[in-house]
Protein backbone atom coordinates (compact mmCIF):
# COMPACT_ATOMS: atom_id res chain seq x y z
CA UNK A 1 0.00 0.00 0.00
CA UNK A 2 2.86 2.34 0.92
CA UNK A 3 4.66 1.53 -2.33
CA UNK A 4 1.52 2.23 -4.36
CA UNK A 5 1.01 5.54 -2.61
CA UNK A 6 4.61 6.62 -3.15
CA UNK A 7 4.53 5.58 -6.80
CA UNK A 8 1.31 7.50 -7.29
CA UNK A 9 2.81 10.62 -5.75
CA UNK A 10 6.00 10.38 -7.72
CA UNK A 11 4.24 9.86 -11.01
CA UNK A 12 1.78 12.64 -10.25
CA UNK A 13 -1.18 10.29 -10.50
CA UNK A 14 -4.23 11.14 -8.45
CA UNK A 15 -4.38 9.38 -5.11
CA UNK A 16 -7.80 7.92 -4.46
CA UNK A 17 -9.19 9.45 -1.30
CA UNK A 18 -12.03 8.13 0.76
CA UNK A 19 -15.19 9.96 -0.22
CA UNK A 20 -16.76 10.65 3.16
CA UNK A 21 -17.23 13.90 5.02
CA UNK A 22 -15.09 14.48 8.08
CA UNK A 23 -16.41 15.19 11.56
CA UNK A 24 -13.15 16.73 12.80
CA UNK A 25 -10.41 18.13 10.60
CA UNK A 26 -7.06 18.53 12.36
CA UNK A 27 -5.11 21.56 11.15
CA UNK A 28 -1.46 20.68 10.63
CA UNK A 29 1.35 23.16 9.98
CA UNK A 30 4.39 22.78 7.76
CA UNK A 31 6.95 25.36 6.66
CA UNK A 32 7.57 23.52 3.37
CA UNK A 33 5.79 23.93 0.07
CA UNK A 34 3.05 21.69 -1.26
CA UNK A 35 4.54 18.44 -2.58
CA UNK A 36 7.54 18.45 -0.23
CA UNK A 37 8.01 14.97 1.34
CA UNK A 38 6.94 16.09 4.83
CA UNK A 39 3.76 17.72 3.51
CA UNK A 40 2.89 14.68 1.38
CA UNK A 41 3.55 12.27 4.27
CA UNK A 42 1.21 14.10 6.66
CA UNK A 43 -1.43 14.21 3.92
CA UNK A 44 -0.98 10.45 3.54
CA UNK A 45 -1.46 10.10 7.28
CA UNK A 46 -4.68 12.10 6.89
CA UNK A 47 -5.96 9.65 4.27
CA UNK A 48 -5.22 6.77 6.66
CA UNK A 49 -7.00 8.53 9.51
CA UNK A 50 -10.08 9.24 7.44
CA UNK A 51 -10.31 5.63 6.38
CA UNK A 52 -9.50 4.09 9.77
CA UNK A 53 -11.92 6.33 11.72
CA UNK A 54 -14.74 6.09 9.16
CA UNK A 55 -14.48 9.81 8.60
CA UNK A 56 -14.33 10.91 12.24
CA UNK A 57 -10.87 12.41 11.69
CA UNK A 58 -9.09 14.08 8.78
CA UNK A 59 -6.02 16.28 8.45
CA UNK A 60 -5.64 19.47 6.49
CA UNK A 61 -2.01 20.42 5.96
CA UNK A 62 -1.33 24.16 5.88
CA UNK A 63 1.94 24.12 3.93
CA UNK A 64 4.30 26.95 2.96
CA UNK A 65 4.28 28.52 6.46
CA UNK A 66 0.65 29.60 6.01
CA UNK A 67 0.22 29.35 9.80
CA UNK A 68 3.57 31.03 10.57
CA UNK A 69 7.27 30.30 10.97
CA UNK A 70 8.29 27.24 12.98
CA UNK A 71 9.08 28.89 16.31
CA UNK A 72 5.67 30.63 16.37
CA UNK A 73 3.71 27.61 15.18
CA UNK A 74 5.28 25.51 17.95
CA UNK A 75 3.90 27.96 20.52
CA UNK A 76 0.51 27.93 18.83
CA UNK A 77 0.49 24.13 18.91
CA UNK A 78 1.31 24.21 22.63
CA UNK A 79 -1.62 26.61 23.13
CA UNK A 80 -3.95 24.36 21.10
CA UNK A 81 -4.52 26.93 18.34
CA UNK A 82 -2.89 24.56 15.83
CA UNK A 83 -3.69 20.83 16.17
CA UNK A 84 -0.61 19.26 14.58
CA UNK A 85 2.82 20.37 13.48
CA UNK A 86 5.65 18.87 11.46
CA UNK A 87 8.84 20.59 12.56
CA UNK A 88 12.58 20.08 12.76
CA UNK A 89 13.89 19.29 16.25
CA UNK A 90 16.13 22.39 16.02
CA UNK A 91 13.46 24.95 17.01
CA UNK A 92 12.53 22.73 19.99
CA UNK A 93 16.05 22.87 21.45
CA UNK A 94 15.46 25.98 23.56
CA UNK A 95 12.12 24.60 24.81
CA UNK A 96 12.61 20.86 25.43
CA UNK A 97 16.12 19.91 26.65
CA UNK A 98 15.77 16.25 25.59
CA UNK A 99 15.61 17.40 21.95
CA UNK A 100 19.14 18.78 22.20
CA UNK A 101 20.80 15.38 22.28
CA UNK A 102 19.65 14.15 18.84
CA UNK A 103 20.41 17.69 17.58
CA UNK A 104 24.07 17.56 18.58
CA UNK A 105 26.50 17.97 15.68
CA UNK A 106 27.93 14.64 14.49
CA UNK A 107 26.03 12.64 17.15
CA UNK A 108 24.80 10.29 14.41
CA UNK A 109 27.29 8.51 12.14
CA UNK A 110 24.78 8.34 9.29
CA UNK A 111 21.11 8.78 8.45
CA UNK A 112 20.74 5.03 8.96
CA UNK A 113 22.18 5.35 12.48
CA UNK A 114 19.77 8.23 13.19
CA UNK A 115 16.79 6.21 11.97
CA UNK A 116 17.76 3.14 14.00
CA UNK A 117 18.10 5.25 17.16
CA UNK A 118 14.93 7.28 16.65
CA UNK A 119 12.86 4.21 15.65
CA UNK A 120 13.91 2.45 18.86
CA UNK A 121 13.44 2.98 22.57
CA UNK A 122 15.63 6.11 22.71
CA UNK A 123 13.33 7.71 20.14
CA UNK A 124 10.29 6.72 22.23
CA UNK A 125 11.87 8.33 25.30
CA UNK A 126 12.43 11.56 23.41
CA UNK A 127 8.88 11.50 21.99
CA UNK A 128 7.57 11.06 25.55
CA UNK A 129 9.43 14.22 26.65
CA UNK A 130 7.02 16.35 24.58
CA UNK A 131 4.16 15.50 26.96
CA UNK A 132 5.57 17.80 29.62
CA UNK A 133 5.21 20.72 27.17
CA UNK A 134 1.52 20.45 26.18
CA UNK A 135 2.44 18.40 23.12
CA UNK A 136 2.18 14.75 22.10
CA UNK A 137 5.16 13.45 20.11
CA UNK A 138 3.83 11.16 17.36
CA UNK A 139 6.71 10.20 15.05
CA UNK A 140 10.12 11.16 13.73
CA UNK A 141 10.82 11.89 10.07
CA UNK A 142 14.12 12.10 8.15
CA UNK A 143 15.83 15.18 6.91
CA UNK A 144 19.09 13.84 5.61
CA UNK A 145 22.20 15.76 6.62
CA UNK A 146 22.64 19.51 6.89
CA UNK A 147 25.70 21.17 5.37
CA UNK A 148 26.90 24.74 4.85
CA UNK A 149 26.28 26.84 1.73
CA UNK A 150 27.29 30.42 1.10
CA UNK A 151 27.49 33.15 -1.51
CA UNK A 152 31.17 34.04 -1.05
CA UNK A 153 33.62 31.20 -1.76
CA UNK A 154 33.98 27.41 -1.64
CA UNK A 155 34.58 25.85 1.80
CA UNK A 156 37.36 23.30 1.41
CA UNK A 157 38.42 23.17 5.06
CA UNK A 158 37.23 24.41 8.44
CA UNK A 159 39.51 27.46 8.06
CA UNK A 160 37.43 28.64 5.09
CA UNK A 161 34.44 29.19 7.39
CA UNK A 162 36.27 31.92 9.34
CA UNK A 163 34.32 35.14 9.56
CA UNK A 164 31.37 34.05 7.39
CA UNK A 165 27.87 34.86 8.63
CA UNK A 166 25.49 31.89 8.62
CA UNK A 167 21.82 31.76 9.42
CA UNK A 168 20.89 29.03 11.88
CA UNK A 169 17.54 27.78 13.13
CA UNK A 170 16.39 29.47 16.34
CA UNK A 171 18.42 27.24 18.66
CA UNK A 172 21.22 28.34 21.02
CA UNK A 173 22.93 25.01 20.42
CA UNK A 174 23.29 25.82 16.72
CA UNK A 175 24.58 29.32 17.46
CA UNK A 176 27.31 27.74 19.60
CA UNK A 177 28.01 25.13 16.94
CA UNK A 178 28.69 27.78 14.28
CA UNK A 179 30.79 29.90 16.68
CA UNK A 180 32.89 26.84 17.57
CA UNK A 181 33.63 26.45 13.85
CA UNK A 182 34.98 30.00 13.66
CA UNK A 183 32.01 31.54 11.84
CA UNK A 184 29.22 33.89 12.98
CA UNK A 185 25.68 32.67 13.56
CA UNK A 186 22.45 34.59 13.08
CA UNK A 187 19.30 32.81 14.26
CA UNK A 188 16.52 33.63 11.79
CA UNK A 189 13.21 32.12 10.59
CA UNK A 190 13.50 29.89 7.53
CA UNK A 191 11.35 32.22 5.40
CA UNK A 192 13.80 35.13 5.76
CA UNK A 193 16.92 33.30 4.61
CA UNK A 194 16.62 33.89 0.85
CA UNK A 195 16.38 37.68 1.13
CA UNK A 196 18.97 37.63 3.94
CA UNK A 197 21.53 36.10 1.58
CA UNK A 198 20.43 38.18 -1.38
CA UNK A 199 20.85 41.45 0.52
CA UNK A 200 24.09 40.37 2.20
CA UNK A 201 22.71 40.39 5.77
CA UNK A 202 24.09 36.84 5.93
CA UNK A 203 26.57 35.02 3.71
CA UNK A 204 24.77 31.72 3.81
CA UNK A 205 22.95 29.07 5.77
CA UNK A 206 22.99 25.33 6.22
CA UNK A 207 20.51 22.70 5.21
CA UNK A 208 19.90 19.43 3.36
CA UNK A 209 19.61 19.01 -0.44
CA UNK A 210 15.80 19.33 -0.68
CA UNK A 211 15.62 22.50 1.46
CA UNK A 212 18.62 24.06 -0.30
CA UNK A 213 16.79 23.46 -3.56
CA UNK A 214 13.09 24.03 -2.72
CA UNK A 215 13.75 27.45 -1.15
CA UNK A 216 15.83 28.63 -4.10
CA UNK A 217 18.75 29.30 -1.73
CA UNK A 218 21.04 27.71 -4.32
CA UNK A 219 20.27 30.67 -6.60
CA UNK A 220 21.89 33.11 -4.14
CA UNK A 221 24.46 30.82 -2.44
CA UNK A 222 26.12 28.51 -4.92
CA UNK A 223 28.96 27.12 -2.78
CA UNK A 224 27.75 24.00 -0.95
CA UNK A 225 30.14 21.84 1.07
CA UNK A 226 28.97 18.45 2.33
CA UNK A 227 30.44 18.63 5.81
CA UNK A 228 27.19 17.08 7.13
CA UNK A 229 27.50 18.60 10.59
CA UNK A 230 23.91 17.85 11.55
CA UNK A 231 21.64 14.88 11.01
CA UNK A 232 18.65 16.32 12.84
CA UNK A 233 15.44 14.31 12.97
CA UNK A 234 12.15 16.03 12.27
CA UNK A 235 9.14 15.41 14.44
CA UNK A 236 5.39 15.27 14.03
CA UNK A 237 3.65 16.55 17.14
CA UNK A 238 0.06 17.08 18.17
CA UNK A 239 -1.34 19.63 20.53
CA UNK A 240 -2.16 17.95 23.85
CA UNK A 241 -5.44 19.89 23.93
CA UNK A 242 -6.52 18.41 20.58
CA UNK A 243 -5.25 14.93 21.50
CA UNK A 244 -7.11 14.89 24.83
CA UNK A 245 -10.39 15.60 23.02
CA UNK A 246 -10.12 12.28 21.17
CA UNK A 247 -11.43 8.93 22.39
CA UNK A 248 -8.80 6.39 23.48
CA UNK A 249 -9.57 4.45 20.29
CA UNK A 250 -8.97 7.47 18.06
CA UNK A 251 -5.80 8.41 19.97
CA UNK A 252 -4.42 4.95 19.21
CA UNK A 253 -5.41 5.32 15.54
CA UNK A 254 -3.65 8.71 15.35
CA UNK A 255 -0.47 7.31 16.90
CA UNK A 256 -0.47 4.33 14.54
CA UNK A 257 -1.20 6.38 11.41
CA UNK A 258 1.66 8.75 12.30
CA UNK A 259 4.03 5.78 12.65
CA UNK A 260 2.74 4.35 9.37
CA UNK A 261 3.45 7.63 7.59
CA UNK A 262 7.16 7.39 8.46
CA UNK A 263 7.97 4.82 5.79
CA UNK A 264 6.07 6.82 3.16
CA UNK A 265 8.04 9.92 4.15
CA UNK A 266 11.37 8.09 3.92
CA UNK A 267 10.72 6.80 0.42
CA UNK A 268 9.58 10.22 -0.77
CA UNK A 269 12.61 11.76 0.93
CA UNK A 270 15.15 9.54 -0.80
CA UNK A 271 13.58 10.24 -4.18
CA UNK A 272 13.44 14.00 -3.53
CA UNK A 273 17.07 14.17 -2.37
CA UNK A 274 18.21 12.78 -5.71
CA UNK A 275 15.98 15.15 -7.69
CA UNK A 276 17.11 18.18 -5.65
CA UNK A 277 20.80 17.32 -5.97
CA UNK A 278 20.49 17.01 -9.73
CA UNK A 279 18.59 20.26 -9.99
CA UNK A 280 21.12 22.35 -8.08
CA UNK A 281 24.08 20.71 -9.82
CA UNK A 282 22.48 21.49 -13.19
CA UNK A 283 21.89 25.07 -12.04
CA UNK A 284 25.63 25.50 -11.46
CA UNK A 285 26.11 25.08 -7.71
CA UNK A 286 29.70 24.21 -6.85
CA UNK A 287 29.64 21.20 -4.56
CA UNK A 288 32.59 20.21 -2.36
CA UNK A 289 32.18 16.56 -1.39
CA UNK A 290 35.64 15.53 -0.15
CA UNK A 291 35.92 17.66 2.98
CA UNK A 292 37.90 16.31 5.96
CA UNK A 293 35.24 16.15 8.69
CA UNK A 294 37.61 15.36 11.57
CA UNK A 295 38.51 18.99 12.38
CA UNK A 296 34.77 19.79 12.42
CA UNK A 297 34.12 16.91 14.82
CA UNK A 298 37.05 17.95 17.05
CA UNK A 299 35.76 21.54 17.18
CA UNK A 300 32.49 20.29 18.71
CA UNK A 301 34.06 19.18 22.02
CA UNK A 302 33.26 22.48 23.84
CA UNK A 303 29.71 22.39 22.46
CA UNK A 304 29.16 18.91 23.93
CA UNK A 305 30.71 20.09 27.21
CA UNK A 306 28.36 23.06 27.38
CA UNK A 307 25.14 21.15 26.68
CA UNK A 308 25.74 17.67 28.05
CA UNK A 309 25.82 18.66 31.68
CA UNK A 310 23.94 16.00 33.66
CA UNK A 311 24.74 12.29 34.18
CA UNK A 312 21.44 11.48 32.39
CA UNK A 313 22.49 13.40 29.26
CA UNK A 314 26.00 11.90 29.33
CA UNK A 315 24.35 8.50 29.48
CA UNK A 316 21.96 9.33 26.65
CA UNK A 317 24.84 10.42 24.39
CA UNK A 318 26.72 7.20 25.21
CA UNK A 319 23.64 5.07 24.53
CA UNK A 320 23.09 6.74 21.15
CA UNK A 321 26.73 6.26 20.20
CA UNK A 322 26.54 2.58 21.22
CA UNK A 323 23.64 1.84 18.85
CA UNK A 324 24.99 -0.08 15.84
C1 LIG B 1 14.46 22.13 7.01
C2 LIG B 1 13.36 21.56 7.86
C3 LIG B 1 12.35 22.62 8.20
C4 LIG B 1 13.02 23.84 8.78
C5 LIG B 1 14.21 24.28 7.96
C6 LIG B 1 15.02 25.39 8.62
O7 LIG B 1 15.41 21.14 6.73
O8 LIG B 1 12.71 20.52 7.18
O9 LIG B 1 11.39 22.06 9.07
O10 LIG B 1 13.40 23.60 10.11
O11 LIG B 1 15.09 23.20 7.69
O12 LIG B 1 16.23 25.39 8.48
O13 LIG B 1 14.42 26.26 9.27
SS3 of the chain: the string is CHHHHHHHHHHCCCCCCCCCCCCEEEEEECCCCCCCHHHHHHHHHHHHHHHHCCCCEEEEEECCCCCCCHHHHHHHHHHCCCCEEEEECHHHCCCCHHHHHHHCCCCCCCHHHHHHHHHCHHHHHHHHHHHHHCEEEEEEECCCCEEEEECCCCCCCHHHHCCCEEEECCCHHHHHHHHHCCCEEEECCHHHHHHHHHCCCCCEEEECHHHHHHCCHHHHCCEEEEEEEECCCEEEEEEHHHHHCCCHHHHHHHHHHHHHHHHHHHHHHHHHHHHHHHHHHHCCCEEECCCCCHHHHHHCHHHHHHHCCCHHHHHHHHHHHHCC
Q: How far is the CA of 304 from the centre of ligand 1 (A)?
A: 22
Atom of ligand 1 nearest to the CA of 205: 12
Provide the pLDDT for residue 17: 43
Mutate to test the pocket of ligand 1, among 207, 213, 230 (most ligand atoms within 8 A of CB): 207
Q: What is the pLDDT along the chain (324 residues), one digit of tens a residue?
A: 455 555 555 554 444 344 458 999 999 999 999 999 999 999 999 999 999 999 999 999 999 999 999 999 999 999 999 999 999 999 999 999 999 999 999 999 999 999 999 999 999 999 999 999 999 999 999 999 999 999 999 999 999 999 999 999 999 999 999 999 999 999 999 999 999 999 999 999 999 999 999 999 999 999 999 999 999 999 999 999 999 999 999 999 999 999 999 999 999 999 999 999 999 999 999 999 999 999 999 999 999 999 999 999 999 999 999 999
d(CA 46, CA 139): 14
Angle at the Cα of 259 from the Cα atoms of 70 and 313, rounded to 5 degrees:
65
The rounded Å distance from CA 75 to ligand 1 centre is 17
Mutational pocket test of ligand 1: of 36, 65, 70, the residue with most ligand atoms within 8 Å of the beta carbon: 70
For the CA of 167, the closest atom of ligand 1 is: 12
What residues flank ligand 1, with Cβ below 6 Å? 31, 70, 87-88, 90, 143, 169, 190, 207-208, 211, 234
Ligand 1 atom nearest 38 alpha carbon: 8
User: What pLDDT does 18 receive?
Assistant: 42
What's the rounded Cα separation, in Å, for the pair 123 and 109?
A: 16
pTM above 0.75, yes or no: yes
Atom of ligand 1 nearest to the CA of 146: 7
Distance 66 CA to ligand 1 centre (A): 15
Mutate to test the pocket of ligand 1, among 211, 216, 234, 276 (most ligand atoms within 8 A of CB): 211
DSSP β-bridge partners for residue 224: 149, 287
Contact 42, 59 (CB under 8 A): yes
Amino acid sequence: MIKTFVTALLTGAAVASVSMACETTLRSSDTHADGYPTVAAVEAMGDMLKERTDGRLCIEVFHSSQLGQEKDTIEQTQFGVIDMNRVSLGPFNNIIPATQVPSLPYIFRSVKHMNTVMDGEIGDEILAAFEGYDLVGLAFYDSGARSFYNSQHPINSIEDLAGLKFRVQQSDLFVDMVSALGANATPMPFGEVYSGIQTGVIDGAENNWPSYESTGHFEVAKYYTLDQHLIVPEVLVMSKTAFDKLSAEDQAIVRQAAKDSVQIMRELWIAREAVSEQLVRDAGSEIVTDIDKQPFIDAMVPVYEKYITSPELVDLVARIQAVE
